[in-house]
Amino acid sequence: MTLSRDVGKKEVTGGRYQRYYTPHFGTRVNNITSYIGDTATLYCSIINLGTKTVVWRKTSSRHPITVGTFTFISDKSYSIQRQIEKNEWNLVIKNVQPKHAGLYECHISSKEKQKFNVYLNVIVYLQMYANL
Domain membership of residue 36 (yes or no) is yes
**48, 62 contact by CB (below 8 A):** no
Residue 53's CATH number: 2.60.40.10
Cα 61–chain centre separation: 15
Structural domain contains residue 95: yes
Mind listing the pLDDT tens digit for each residue in 81-131? 998 888 999 999 999 999 999 999 999 998 888 999 999 999 987 665 555
Domain membership flag for residue 28: yes
In angstroms, rounded to a whole number, what is the distance separating the alpha carbons of residues 127 and 102?
24
Domain count, the chain: 1
In-domain check, residue 31: yes
**Per-residue pLDDT tens over the stretch 59-70:** 999 999 999 999
pLDDT in tens, 10-25: 444 455 655 567 898 9
In a domain, 2, yes or no: no
Range of the domain at 85: 23-123
Residue 8 lies in a domain: no
Is 16 part of a structural domain of the chain?
A: no
Q: How would DSSP label each residue in 54-113?
A: EEEEETT-SS-SEETTEE-SS-TTEEEEEEGGGTEEEEEESS--GGG-EEEEEEE-SSS-
